[in-house]
Amino acid sequence: MAVTLAPAALQRVKGYLAETPGALGLRFGVKRTGCSGWGYVVDLAHEAREDDTVFQQDGVSIRVDAHSLPLVDGTEIDFLKQGLNEQFVFRNPNVAAECGCGESFTTSPEAA
């Protein structure tokens, strides 16, 4: 599988990369947080890490650490604008449940 960017997210990430000389691409992963257990971490990658899996899409590198990969493999990242609000959204096939506030998620025990 892979981690992919929907067209709107791809354009947004390309814009961030153009404004940040030296960035290698997008870093995507998870950390323990919230009511359900996992929260997404999205940032620009400034260094290559030994355990990164790197996905390429239209000139953009998406770097995922080995710990996060089983939890996010197959995710499509999108970018939505609604009125004055803008945010990345995640379509992750590994999600079994989300908390009510939408800040965290859980997966099946096999993925974790």
Is the domain spanning 4-107 CATH 2.60.300.12? The answer is: yes
Identify the pLDDT of residue 97: 79
- Encoded tokens for 37: 């257990």
pLDDT tens by residue, 3-44:
999 999 999 999 999 999 999 999 999 998 867 688 899 999
Q: Is the pLDDT of residue 67 over 70?
A: yes
The residue among 57, 55, 65 whose CA lies nearest residue 9 is 57
CB environment 82-95: b (16+ within 10 A), e (fewer): eeeeeebebebebb
- The H or E element that residue 5 is part of is strand 4-5
0.85 exceeded by pTM? yes
Identify the pLDDT of residue 102: 61
Q: Is the pLDDT of residue 108 over 60?
A: yes
Maximum pairwise Cα distance, the chain: 40
The residue extents of the domains of the chain are: 4-107
Q: Which amino acid type is present at position 56?
A: Q
Higher-confidence residue: 7 or 106?
Answer: 7
